[in-house]
Amino acid sequence: MSQSEWTIRRAGDADMGSLTRLFFTSVREGAGPDYTESQRAAWAPDLPETEVWRVRLGDQKVWLAEDGEGEVIGFMTLRKDGHIDFAFVAPAYIGRGVAYDLYSVLEAEAKADGLDRLTSDASTMAKAFFTRQGWEIVREQAPVRRGVTLPNWHMAKSIAG
């Protein structure tokens, strides 16, 4: 599938179920090369509750990518403070340009909103992606979830000017 075969749009309340399923699948399957099974289970023990996500994402801008049949294949979120909270792509679409297209829209909107800096706490895979977009590692982190360490990297990018 080429980049012209998916569309990017803002997500709404009706998309929350699709976003939770994509998150769960992306962590459990897509993160496999970078995280152990126990790490992935600690990160996403169960399918998140749609209402919990509706609240968590309620004050964020959320963009999603969907294929020609309306299936959600990726999404990214942006908080008002410039923090990218979620950045996930369906395992079958990793490396095909979905994340790049989502990020391009997100960064353009962040600039239009007057933000001058973006941050994220990036997984191993996201770290590689953000580095290719000109981001820098601020520090390595070792948060613990459900008794399991999940290494990630606090990263930032200046978008001023």
What is 3-115's CATH topology? Answer: Aminopeptidase (3.40.630)
- pLDDT tens column, 33-75: 889 999 999 999 999 999 999 999 999 999 999 999 999 999 9
Q: What is the DSSP letter of 92?
A: G
Q: Domain residues of the chain, as ranges?
A: 3-115
**120 close to 83: Cβ distance less than 8 angstroms:** yes
In which element (H, E) is residue 102 found? Answer: helix 98-112
Span between the terminal Cα atoms of the chain, in Å: 35
pTM of the shown model: 0.94
Residue 1, pLDDT > 50, answer: no
